[in-house]
């Protein structure tokens, strides 16, 4: 099979990029694999062929609006399958829906009461483009990363046929409870945390739920919060100061060693307002870390509250978030048991499984 992947960034530090890397490396063992990307951070195992795609990367919108023209210009030879990640082309054999833009903006509007001007503009252009791309004439098959996304595509775009849920995998070797023995003490010492400190971790875009995490921390006088994100921290620093959180809050930039921070923490606090899947939830669970998140995350579909994770219905319910954290803080044995069950739950979701299920979609696409 001759397969072409289209993705903005072929980079493990980016969700879409990590998804393509994991699949491309597996498929390249038996198939001819080409990757079309604007930024190529690694060249992998030597079996994958790479093709740079021109795009204007000034903003997220310019990337989304210009990359499809570049990919149209570069993808000239015939492929059995052209597999794009979201808005990467004008037509695709298979598209992975990593998000439903319209649902994302509706979630923001519901939480904040209104959309910011640039969000309204983004929805006007990108939301409508996504609606057009996800019609059967342009994307013959769609892989939804969760049942949540499949339902959103049907609700907002009317797309129901040939939509298959294939959950992303997680690197079960990299994210492993054994790393706590290797990294916990070292990382805590480097960051200035004592072993007795109850450390909550937030990973990802701050806009998704960092404000709620900070407000929950204000109800937990003996807890610490570490936030790792590429987002601008300034407004959240201001909020932390207004809440009187002082030195109990720390912001760090993205890291290639995120697994060490899972190992150093006592729980993941991720009160997301919207997440099509939630890779950080997967990674934390694989690391044996208890997760506090919301039912607005696609990954919450496989969590059984309170057996292998803690779920809050409303991301704005900071008291419920704080209560969950307090239970974990006060009952160490229960905290460890949840972490163990979380690991057992996600062991079924390896990248090998995701690759097999994706290949099955390719076979269906080639027959229809």
pLDDT in the model for residue 44: 77
What digits encode the pLDDT tens for the residues 182-195? 899 999 999 999 99
pLDDT in the model for residue 239: 98
pLDDT in the model for residue 61: 87
Map the chain to HEC letters: CEEEEEEEEECCCCHHHHHHHHHHHHHCCCCEEEEEEEEECCCCCCCCEEEECCCCCCCHHHHHHHHHHHHHHHCCCCCCEEEEECCCCCCEEEEEECCCHHHHHHHHHHHHCCCCHHHHHHHHHHHHHHHHHCCCCCEEEEEECCHHHHHHHHHHHCCCCCEEECCCCCCCCCCCCCHHHHHHHHHHHHHCCCCCCEEEEEECCHHHCHHHHHHHHCCCCCEEEEEECCCCCHHHHHHHHHCCCHHHEEEECCCCCHHHHHHHCCEEEECCCCECCCHHHHHHHHCCCCEEEECCEHHHHHCCCCCCCEEECCCCCHHHHHHHHHHHHHCHHHHHHHHHHHHHHHCCCCHHHHHHHHHHHHHHHHHC
pLDDT in the model for residue 60: 86
Please, what are the averages of pLDDT over each run of 10 residues along the chain (368 residues)?
98 93 98 97 90 93 93 94 96 98 96 92 90 96 99 98 98 96 94 97 98 99 98 96 96 95 98 98 98 98 98 98 98 98 98 99 96
What digits encode the pLDDT tens for the residues 198-231? 999 999 999 999 999 999 999 999 999 999 999 9
Domain annotation for the chain: domains and CATH numbers: 2-169+350-367 (3.40.50.2000), 179-346 (3.40.50.2000)
State the chain's mean pLDDT as an integer: 96
């Amino acid at each position: 099979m001759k397969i072409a992947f289209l993705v903005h960034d072929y980079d493990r530090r980016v969700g879409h990029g990590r998804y393509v890397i994991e699949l491309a490396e597996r498929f390249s063992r038996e198939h001819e694999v080409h990757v079309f990307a604007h930024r190529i951070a690694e060249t992998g195992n030597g079996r994958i062929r790479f093709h740079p795609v021109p795009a204007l990367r000034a903003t997220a919108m310019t990337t989304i609006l210009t990359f499809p023209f570049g990919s149209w210009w570069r993808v000239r030879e015939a492929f059995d399958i052209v597999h794009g990640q979201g808005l990467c082309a004008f037509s695709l054999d298979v598209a992975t829906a990593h998000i439903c833009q319209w649902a994302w903006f509706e979630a923001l509007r519901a939480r904040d009461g209104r959309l910011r001007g640039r969000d309204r503009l983004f929805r006007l252009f990108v939301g409508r483009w996504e609606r057009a791309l996800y019609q059967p004439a342009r994307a013959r098959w769609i892989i939804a990363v969760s049942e949540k996304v499949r339902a959103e595509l049907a609700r907002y775009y009317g797309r129901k046929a040939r939509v298959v849920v294939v959950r992303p995998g997680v690197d079960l070797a990299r994210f492993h409870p054994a790393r706590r023995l290797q990294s916990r003490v070292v990382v805590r010492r480097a960051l200035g945390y004592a072993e007795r400190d109850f450390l909550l971790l937030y990973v990802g875009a701050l806009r998704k739920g960092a404000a709620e995490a900070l407000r929950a921390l204000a109800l937990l006088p003996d807890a610490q919060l570490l936030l790792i994100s590429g987002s601008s921290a300034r407004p959240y620093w201001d909020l932390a100061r207004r809440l009187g959180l002082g030195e109990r809050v720390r912001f760090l930039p993205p890291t290639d060693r995120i697994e060490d921070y899972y190992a150093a923490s006592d729980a993941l606090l991720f009160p997301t307002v919207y997440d099509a899947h939630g890779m950080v939830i997967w990674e934390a669970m694989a690391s044996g870390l208890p997760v506090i998140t919301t039912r607005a995350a696609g990954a919450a579909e496989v969590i059984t509250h309170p057996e292998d994770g803690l779920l809050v219905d409303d991301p704005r319910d900071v008291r419920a978030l704080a209560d969950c954290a307090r239970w974990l803080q006060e009952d160490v044995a229960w905290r460890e048991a949840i972490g163990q069950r979380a690991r057992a739950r996600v062991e079924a979701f390896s990248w090998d499984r995701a690759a097999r299920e994706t290949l099955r979609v390719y076979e269906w696409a080639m027959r229809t």
